[in-house]
Structure 1
Amino acid sequence: MTAPIDPGALSPDQARALFRAGLRVPTSGWCAGWTQANLIAVPREQAYDLLLFAQRNPKPCPVLDVTEPGEVSASLFAGDLRTDLPGYVVYEHGEPVAEVSDATGFWRDDLVSFLIGCSFTFEDALQEAGVPVRHIEQNRNVPMYRTNRMCRRAGEFGGPLVVSMRPVPAAQVADAVRVTARYPSVHGAPVHVGDPVELGIDDLGAPDFGDPVDVRVDEIPVFWACGVTPQAAVMASRPKLAIGHAPGHMAITDVRDTRYLVP
């Protein structure tokens, strides 16, 4: 199955139907104007610790919604959380044991699902402001990196901050900061601008998740907190089971981006 010519024109329901049918693609640029979210689901016995981890680390883990145990839809997401994302990673004791397009076979009735804000939500606003989004231009997944910054621990969960990177022309960095700062519920302003070594990133060409993108001579790497951070915490903390979205393969919600735009 191939992606549609203009995925940005699709409704969330249309996109979810394609993913349910087996299409696996990164979702940056899909369903323009509709909020995208990260997914992490853990057993009920770990759910409080994960919620506390998110509360203590709101920049990478802005919680948009939390389900009751066993629920497979959410107030923001009318589809099926087990089937309607384009890809999932299943973890057992912190190790990725499967990457699937349908997580039904791994789902349990006690799983609590968290929808976490995603920086894809503000990419339309960046483009409208004239700021390039390189991974969309190059039809790639956004590059994401583990950093040397540790999140504040909560119960079972702790681990490194994960960031996404977008190269921005030097003259437009202030615009990128201004635009994204107005979306605090989907990571907001960057956490770092400039030298990646200060974040413990030695090679921009070797992201931990996603794909490398071109960084041109006149551009500065700009880093935003990333909703893959809970999955890094799962890998570091090793709970018995967790299910997350495949990085860059998001839940497309039924909520408009403008809900998370502040004046």
Structure 2
Amino acid sequence: MIAIEHLRHVDAAPARAARERYRAGSVAPTSGVAPGFTQANMIVLPRDWAFDFLLYAQRNPKACPVLDVSDPGSHATLLAPGADLRTDLPLYRIWREGKLAEETADARAAWAEHPDLVSFLIGCSFTFETPMAEAGIEIRHITDGSNVPMYLTDRPCRPAGRLHGNLVVSMRPIAPGRVADAATISGRFPAVHGAPVHIGAPDEIGIADLGKPDFGDAVRIEPGEVPVFWACGVTPQAAVMASGVPFAITHAPGHMFITDIPDSAYHA
């Protein structure tokens, strides 16, 4: 894999330091943390559900671009040698029968319930925020120190096996003169959601109120700014809820796994 090859030439100390903080118990959204290193969403499922999800991701690549898949029972990833997926994210969600049962900073106890768990790491739009910011495009949730707003849309994903659900999107308000630039820059990163899926008119995708996100925090939108929407890696959590998945572990929205892979590895 091209991403793994990049590990040979990269000093990933900032990414490792961030993971060590989270392993020690620090809890905070990861947007803007260890800039330049790829971040990933995560969903962990019993082996019996893993093929269904792999097919779901293949059918919905914009929302679920898979970066790595673990062996059953493993809590390691080639994207960050030495990392532990049970402890190295800042905040986890434990799901039972499609309902959120718990949020925790340490998933080891829940992980131990199933010996055959398969972990999926999925591209995250935080990855292209750094090049957008370097181009002078403000990332409002970073400016204001909040989590990115995420919304459940009325757009159904393609079902697969027992999994179904609607698309989740993240939103960033962009100055009208920079919308095309934001689309162009993010479009260069297809492995981490790529270009926007919708621009403006939130009601056209079933979002009634931008001030009430389904996940994350509402952000300030200045007069004239355009809401721009990207496919979001929280989409698997919407599928967990809609499909009544018996057991799953995910990242908490906005609290990602920071890999040792540089963003440039996923630049098309």
State the TM-score bracket (shorter-chain normalisation).
over 0.9
C-alpha separation between the residues in 2 aligned to 1:231 and 1:113?
14
Cα deviations by residue, 1:115-157 (Å, 9 ceiling, x for unpaired):
0000000000101111110000000000000000000000011
The corresponding residue for 1:6 is none
Is 1:140 aligned to 2:142, yes or no? no
Give the one of 81, 89, 95 matched to 1:91. Answer: 95
In structure 1, C-alpha distance between the alignment counterparts of 2:122 and 2:70, rounded to whole Å: 12
Query: Which residue, out of 85, 92, 103, partners 1:81?
Result: 85
Q: 2:254 is matched with which residue? A: 248
**1-structure distance, mates of 2:199, 2:13:** 33
Please tell me the residue identity of whatever aligns with 1:253.
T
What is the identity, as a one-letter code, of the residue corresponding to 1:34? F
Asked if residue 22 in structure 1 is aligned to residue 61 in structure 2, the reply is: no
Inter-partner Cα distance in structure 1 for 2:127 and 2:217? 19
SS at match of 2:178: helix
Residues in 2 aligned to 1:17 and 1:209: alpha-carbon distance in whole angstroms: 26
- What's the TM-score once normalised by structure 2's chain length? 0.94
- Superposed, 1:2-151 pairs within 5 Å as 11-78=14-81, 79-107=83-111, 108-151=114-157
Structure 1: gaps spanning 5 or more residues: 1-8
3-state DSSP of counterpart to 1:11? helix
1:186 matched to 2:189? The reply is: no
Structure 1 position 26, deviation (Å): 0.1
CA distance in 1, matches of 2:171, 2:245: 28
Normalized against structure 1, the TM-score is what?
0.95
Displacement after TM superposition at 1:109 (Å):
1.6
Paired AA for residue 103 in structure 1: A
Q: Aligned-pair distance for 1:10?
A: 6.4
- The one-letter code sitting in structure 1 at the alignment partner of 2:233 is G
Once residues 247 and 225 of structure 2 are traced to their aligned partners in structure 1, the CA distance between those partners, rounded to angstroms, is 40
Q: Distance in 1 between matches of 2:85 and 2:150?
A: 23
Aligned partners of 1:10 and 1:30 also within 8 Å: no
SS at match of 1:121: helix
What amino acid does structure 2 have at the position aligned with 1:100? T
Q: Which residue of the partner structure matches residue 5 of structure 1?
A: none
Aligned partners of 2:210, 2:48: CA distance in 1, in Å? 37
How many residues were matched structurally?
Answer: 254
Deviation at 1:244, TM superposition (A): 0.2
How far, CA to CA, are the matches of 1:169 and 1:186 in structure 2?
22
Q: Give the Cα–Cα distance (whole angstroms) in 2 for the partners of residues 247 and 42 of structure 1.
A: 17
Question: Structure 2: which 5+ runs fail to align?
Answer: 1-11
